[in-house]
Structure 1
Amino acid sequence: MARVGQDTVARQAVEGIARQPEAEGEIRGDGIARIHGLDEVMTIELVEFEERTIGIALNLESNNVGVVLMGDGLMIQEGSSVKAAGRIAQIPVSEAYLGRVINALAKPIDGRGEISAYEFRLIESPAPGIISRRFVYEPLQTRLIANDSMIPIGRGQRELIIGDRQTAIGQKASSVAQVVTNFQERGAMEYTIVVAEIADSPATLQYLAPYTGAALAEYFMYRERHTSIIYDDLSKQAQAYRQMSLLLLRPPGCEAYPGDVFYLHSRLLERAAKSSSRLGEGSMTALPIVETQSGVVSAYIPTNVISITNGQIFLSTDLFNAGIRPAINVELEAFAQFASDLLKATQNQLARGQRLLELLKQPQSAPLTVEEQVMTIYTGMNGYLDSLELKQVRKYLVELLTYVKTNKPEFQEILSSTKAFTEEVEALLKEAIQEQMERFLLQE
């Protein structure tokens, strides 16, 4: 292109003049540069300063271009030359990224060396059109019994996870390290990519990180693979985008967010899809997380993302603090206070509800297979737990799963092969439940 290599003059924004804080001993600006004389540059095009810092052109104004820096930019000074790279922001992609921890620029930050890649994808790609999609029909098994039994998620879907801080959110470096360690210990890291930009990262990189993750997920989706991507969290990304927009002098709107903050998330989440048969039926399932304040879902960002997603999983702080995890609100406790005035049948129904709530509790990093979930739910729904005390429910279920696996292996074999709860499967399960109940009551 004609503009490639075009030398221009860069001026840092007035609000970005470098200062030297006494405590830190380093120079920091605001991450924004105003460039004069750079004609025909495209939105989200990369530009390169003479000291090799890379920026992204976001504001295209009549007499200047507003650029956000993808680095500290400590050596950029007024009058520095800059040239357009001639390409939209993109990252390298390859199979080699599996098992690695990278930043928003797709650079490894896990200390395990460089990642080989010979293909690139745009950070911001257009969402697949209707013809390129297929109806969502395949389940994505989360192996969380509360999810899979009540709020099933399909491959290619967008399912929002929403709740207060600590119920779902974690952006600290220590939290990221803990998640990675957890994945490694359980063998999950071999098919996982972690894109990490923590709270003290520049706003530009926090804004880009979800798009980098989406680009990597698309690489596998268009190779007929199934991917799921968790955005933790879009509240922080929106705040980073607001910070960038205010520094770029864009007009603020509701809660000081720019007017296009809705488009910020819609163009990201719409990339989740189930590909058509012609494209190989790969999928990208999006699980965005949004943080609320005191459980208020009517704030600006939560309502925006709720309107974009196909469904929502609301996590309750009260349930989380009460030890019910995952803290999905499925209770009918409001009726329990009238227990003495209720009919016996209603009291029995509430008592069973309490036991069903117990079976929905699931420790962290303890996934259940579909067969184990079927076994657990059948036991509760058919009243086999009614005779147990609440404190006995979890213990009995754990022992039942072990008993079936050891003594009734044909149950899992038939269920997994037929994908149907046949009469033979039900007979095996009933037999196992009764046998284990006898053993359990003798032990107690």
Structure 2
Amino acid sequence: MTEKSLNYARDLHSIENAEAHLQSAASILEAVPAIGEELADPTVAIAKKHLVIDSIFPHDVRNFFKLLCDNGDFELFNDIRTAYIESLKTVGEKVETAKLRYVTAPSDEQLAGIKRFLAKECGNDDIAIDLVQDASLKSGFILSVGTKEYDWSEQGRIEQFATKINQAVGVSAVDESILSILKTNVEDFNLQAQEKEVGIVSWVGDGIANVDGIDHAFYGEIVIFDCGVKGMVQDVRRDEIGVILFGRDTEIREGSKVVRTGKMAGLPVGNGFLGRIVDALGSPLDGNGEIKADGFRPVECPAPSIVDRQSVSQPMETGILSIDSMFPIGRGQRELIIGDRQTGKTSIATDTIINQKGKDVICVYVAIGQKASTIAKLVNTLRENGAMDYTIIVSATASDPAPLQYIAPYSGTALAEYFMYSGKDVLIVYDDLSKHAVAYRAISLLLERSPGREAYPGDVFYLHSRLLERSARITAEAGGGSITALPIIETQAGDLSAYIPTNVISITDGQIFLESELFNAGQRPAVNVGLSVSRVGGAAQTKAMKKAAGSIRIDLAQYREMEVFTQFSSDLDDATKMQLAHGRALMELLKQPLSRPFSMAEQVIILVAANAHIFSDVEISKLKKFRADMLEYFKAEHSAIISQLEASKDLTEDIKTSIVDAAQEFKKNQE
């Protein structure tokens, strides 16, 4: 029902016996549909429409119908009639009394004026006014009628004035211009009685409130409870709305007042958020004071259109050898990190953030349902490695209500989008979307939505698809930035076929599967080479890395196959022994300590040396030290090779030969 239809319906209250006349008109239009089509047709002359109205419809509604035709709104007739009938029910059932709270009692003349206003607004001349003295208002009055509240109190006027000033100044105004803006808007400001639609809480519990009396709320609208707690409309029913609460429900009771704001959920954004820890609503949690915002973005925002996107072509280097060589990630890609608990999923995300130092990438880490101690530990790790300067932490801990956990990833994405549309490259980590789905399931069940597979609601796929589709690399015309998403999913006993894992796998552009068996065997990061894939990252991989890592996946696959056969036979030829030694060396080289990312040049040097079998005859127990010493040797004695790789990002035959010769020289010196 549009606001225009509701306004027309209010005008009908001034027409005597309007309901009967509308019924008569509806019968005529139903019997002869061509009349309605002609009256709604913008190509038909207005004079002809007036002639039809005068000859067919009841006398009392002719002027009203002519007004509809003049405004080109006759197609709204059915909506207007429905709205009028509903308003009659409202008048009959609810609007029998009005409540006037005041400090100084109104005079008879003022009361008469209020009654005239109520008669015009509600279409009822017999509304009784309940007079209540309320000293807390200080001055002015508040008139409550039905679901509406007209606020002319001192506090209401102050709030109205503050809103006007905030809208005028804006969050991005420069300091020099604020004074002139304030002066202009104070001079132009006209106080008006605030009309509010007010509802009453009928039930509250577990972060959910059901509200009666708000008839025109829309899905996703923010409402405010009388205790100051904000909520978001998540369920619109015939007689009430379901609201999720962005705060504790301890101060909300049955009978508490709820006021519509007419606004969607949003949060402040800006460069001031870098290095800060905030909650799902953008409020600081780190005790470092208020955050200066540069703008405001809605939490829910449409994903970039196909026209605004461009293909993934630039690498997002993680610094992790096993990922950058075999499952490369590009800027604008969505790469899922999936595995059982305690397999190193968060560690991969953390190392990737640390590796972005000096690469002009903004990082956003969204913690959903994590322990506060875990988040504190992660912040310390990032701070020790100098990564907090370009990172924002959005935290919705396990102790926060489910609605805050539900909205946290959307808030984090809104922050990321601010930088993306400013031309920046952004890396966002969602840790983890399994807990996000559980929070949404809890909300949906409390809102009495029908459960489906694993008790998740039917729209749980859309929950994650609309989130992850906001990550993209956009064209220069649209802003020129990118958002690279690393969503994390926790599996149970390695089951990739569960509901949420299969959903997110189908949404993302690849997945890195971490296996418990590999982790427990000491292979860390515990990446399963067979089940992991990157669907679009290959196009973003540098030429040097692509050439250096060309056969590594095949070599590892052959090694695993041969390793199985060695359990049955000990009689092996020299070629097989060499291949097994090469495979064992590769597996050991793919092990990497925490917070020690490799640069692209270091990774290429390691892979070229490995393909030349430099590491094959080194003892496994000494291989890590050998690798570290070799990289230090390259930095000290052959820095020109590293500079060439970083400048050209290509692996020519000359550079490849130089790397092999230098590695053999180092190995000879070690012996």
Give the TM bin, normalised by the shorter chain: over 0.9
**What is aligned with 2:639?**
409
Would the alpha carbon gap of residues 300 and 437 (structure 1) be closer, same or farther in structure 2, given more than 3 Å must change? same
Give the AA of the match of 2:199. V
**What is aligned with 2:666?**
436
Contact 1:134 1:281 in 2 (8 A): no
Q: Are 1:319 and 2:549 an aligned pair?
A: no
- What per-residue deviation string (whole Å, max 9, x for no partner) do you get for residues 46-79 of structure 1? 0001111100000011111000010002211222
C-alpha deviation, 1:341, in angstroms: 5.6
Would the alpha carbon gap of residues 5 and 78 (structure 1) be closer, same or farther in structure 2, given more than 3 Å must change? farther
Give the AA of the match of 2:240. N
Distance 1:415 1:337 in 2: 38
Distance 1:157 1:321 in 2: 30
C-alpha deviation, 1:385, in angstroms: 1.1
Contact 1:5 1:83 in 2 (8 A): no
TM-score of the two chains, using structure 1 as the length reference: 0.93
Q: 2:412 aligns with which of 209, 213, 217?
A: 213
Contact 1:5 1:84 in 2 (8 A): no
- What per-residue deviation string (whole Å, max 9, x for no partner) do you get for residues 284-343 of structure 1? 001000000010111111011111011010001111112211110236545413222655
Distance 1:73 1:5 in 2: 26
**What is aligned with 2:608?**
378
Would the alpha carbon gap of residues 233 and 128 (structure 1) be closer, same or farther in structure 2, given more than 3 Å must change? same
Give the AA of the match of 2:448. L
C-alpha deviation, 1:413, in angstroms: 1.2
**What is aligned with 1:288?**
487
**What is aligned with 2:564?**
337
Distance 1:35 1:66 in 2: 6
Would the alpha carbon gap of residues 391 and 82 (structure 1) be closer, same or farther in structure 2, given more than 3 Å must change? same
Give the AA of the match of 2:287. G
**What is aligned with 2:201?**
11
Give the AA of the match of 2:340. D
**What is aligned with 1:198?**
397
**What is aligned with 1:389?**
619
Contact 1:159 1:311 in 2 (8 A): yes
Distance 2:385 2:294 in 1: 30
**What is aligned with 1:222?**
421
Percent of residue pairs bearing the same amino acid type: 48
After TM superposition, the structure 1 = structure 2 runs for residues 21-420 of structure 1, keeping only pairs within 5 Å, are 29-167=205-343, 168=345, 171-330=370-529, 332=557, 333=560, 335-339=562-566, 340=570, 343-420=573-650
Structure 2 runs not aligned, ≥5 long: 8-147, 149-193, 347-366, 530-555
- What per-residue deviation string (whole Å, max 9, x for no partner) do you get for residues 98-157 of structure 1? 000111111110111110114111111111010000011111111111110000001101
C-alpha deviation, 1:41, in angstroms: 1.2
Distance 1:313 1:341 in 2: 36
Contact 1:8 1:35 in 2 (8 A): no
Distance 1:199 1:347 in 2: 51
**What is aligned with 2:70?**
none
Distance 2:224 2:627 in 1: 61
Contact 2:202 2:212 in 1 (8 A): no
Q: Are 1:422 and 2:652 an aligned pair?
A: yes
Distance 1:275 1:165 in 2: 34
- What per-residue deviation string (whole Å, max 9, x for no partner) do you get for residues 151-189 of structure 1? 000110110000001112582211111110111111100
Distance 2:451 2:268 in 1: 34
Give the AA of the match of 2:650. A
Distance 1:117 1:395 in 2: 48
Distance 1:390 1:396 in 2: 10
Distance 1:352 1:193 in 2: 42
Greater helix share, 1 or 2? Answer: 2
- What per-residue deviation string (whole Å, max 9, x for no partner) do you get for residues 225-283 of structure 1? 00010100000000000000000011111111000000000000000000013224210
**Structure with larger Rg:** 2
Distance 1:344 1:207 in 2: 58
Greater relative contact order structure (CA < 8 Å, 6+ sep): 1
C-alpha deviation, 1:12, in angstroms: 4.3
TM-score of the two chains, using structure 2 as the length reference: 0.62
- What per-residue deviation string (whole Å, max 9, x for no partner) do you get for residues 385-416 of structure 1? 11212112211110010000011111111111
SS at match of 2:196: coil
SS at match of 1:313: strand
Would the alpha carbon gap of residues 12 and 248 (structure 1) be closer, same or farther in structure 2, given more than 3 Å must change? same
Distance 2:391 2:311 in 1: 26
Contact 1:164 1:295 in 2 (8 A): yes
Distance 2:239 2:202 in 1: 14
Number of aligned pairs?
Answer: 427
Distance 1:47 1:72 in 2: 15
Give the AA of the match of 1:95. N
Distance 1:112 1:329 in 2: 42
